[in-house]
A and B are shown apart, each in its own frame.
Chain A
Amino acid sequence: MSRTIACHECDLLHRIGDMPQGASARCVRCGALLYRKKNNSLDRTLAFALTGMMLFILSNTFPFLAFKIEAQVQQTILLTGIRTLFDQGMRTVAVLVLFTIIIVPFLQMAGLLYLLLPLKFDRLPPGLPQVFRFVRWLQPWSMMEVFMLGILVAMVKLMKMATIVPGVAVFSFLALIFIIAAMTAALDHHQVWEKWDELR
């Protein structure tokens, strides 16, 4: 089945025919990625979202980093920094950090679970277009990998001052970054819309 689409970056019209699994189509004029056909996209995305949810719970409940100077130990969880910022009067910054490293990743995973679990059993979740549009809108605001770089920089900065002990949450957070990246990469949004067209 061939269909016509316009390049989302330069508006040139293309006819895309049947493509083998794993193949990708690029715009002939500007080189933008038009479409990539992915294997078992929806199943894989669902599996990553489920795994991610478990890691998310670990990352937010277990000890994150501990800071030791002589006898004093400062134990933190992921939320501690956000709370401290809030208490210091940096409310906007605290909310932004909360949004980009906790709320957005959670909503992305929860949204995809809400959409893909019923679709797996050929049922339509109510409000699919709105929820899916929202999940895609969230994409650039998920910044966990940037936060990980921030952890590294902060650790180096404090290395001379004290001992820093990474907790369980640091490792589950690192794993979560890879799972979310894999989840985003596995999702073929055309397949969601095809399923929607087929079921509604």
Chain B
Amino acid sequence: MTFIQKTSLNHGLISCHSCHLLCRRNSSAGIMRCPRCGAGMHLRKPYSIQRTWALIISALVFYVPANVLPITTVISLGKAQSDTIMSGVIYFIRTGMWPIALVIFIASVFVPVLKLLILILLLISVQRKSAWRSKDRTRLYRITELVGRWSMVDIFVVTILVALVNLGAMATIHAGPAAFYFSAVVVITMFAAMSFDPRLIWDTEASSHG
């Protein structure tokens, strides 16, 4: 059975992305403004695919120094010891604190990679006009939007460590350059998830039936 699903796209309507008011589309004007809340109106997020790709690629670039460079340096009685994100995880496993190791591993390594892979999958499937499991792909998108913020946990751990371990010559912790690159990865992937428009997943379905 084929029937055309009624969407705002094929009914000459436009939905405000900010207050969700549904309006009749005005084809003559350049940029339409929402009559209720004043937000600029777009049928789909502008340049969604290009923007999301650009942000993903920058996140991938930053991901390398984020994992290779040290995130903290402990200076204790004249000796300095640097840790990367991964060596921190290994330290927790060695000392038997595997629940903490798991938290850091999931938040700092697993989630950013998963998020980037999901966004890449969504972009490629949208660009190939695939109608494959649209509902599941929308669910994947919802997950990426929800989990991204939790990657910040390692940055917050560093913030607390530098505040507490500040005892002069006895022991001091310094934040390493990876803190900058890693927080850049988190912020960039959050923007990447925001710039992707999940309605693109469903547009192909409507046009292939119509």
Please list the residues of chain A having a beta carbon within 8 angstroms of any beta carbon in chain B: 3-6, 8-13, 29-32, 65, 67, 69, 72, 74, 76, 80-82, 84-85, 88, 90, 92-93, 96-97, 100-101, 129-130, 132-133, 136, 140, 143, 146-147, 149-151, 153-154, 156-158, 160-161, 164, 189-190, 193, 196-197
Contacts and interface: CB of A to CB of B under 8 A. Distances in A.
Contacts, number: 188
B156 A193 contact: no
A131 to B, nearest CB: 11
Contact of A31 (B9, B135, B203): B135
A190 B20 CA distance: 9
B13 A13 contact: yes
Most buried by B among A3, A67, A93: A93
B39 interface: yes
Contact of A11 (B15, B148, B150, B187): B15
A12 B164 contact: no
B6 interface: yes
A156 B145 CA distance: 29
A59 B78 CA distance: 35
Chain B at the A interface: SS class: helix
Given A8-B20, A12-B6, A93-B183, A151 B160 contact: yes
Contacts of B162: 81, 84-85, 88
Interface of B: 5-9, 11, 13, 15, 17-22, 36-39, 92, 95, 97, 100, 103-104, 107, 134-135, 138-139, 141-142, 145, 148-150, 152-167, 170-171, 174-175, 179-180, 183-184, 187, 190, 194, 198-199, 201-203
Contact of B171 (A69, A81, A90): A69
Contacts of B95: 160
A4 B13 CA distance: 11
Nearest to B74: A161
Nearest to A142: B149
Nearest to A155: B160
Nearest to B191: A140
Contacts of A72: 167, 170
Shortest Cβ-Cβ A-B pairs, 3 listed = A150-B156, A81-B163, A6-B15
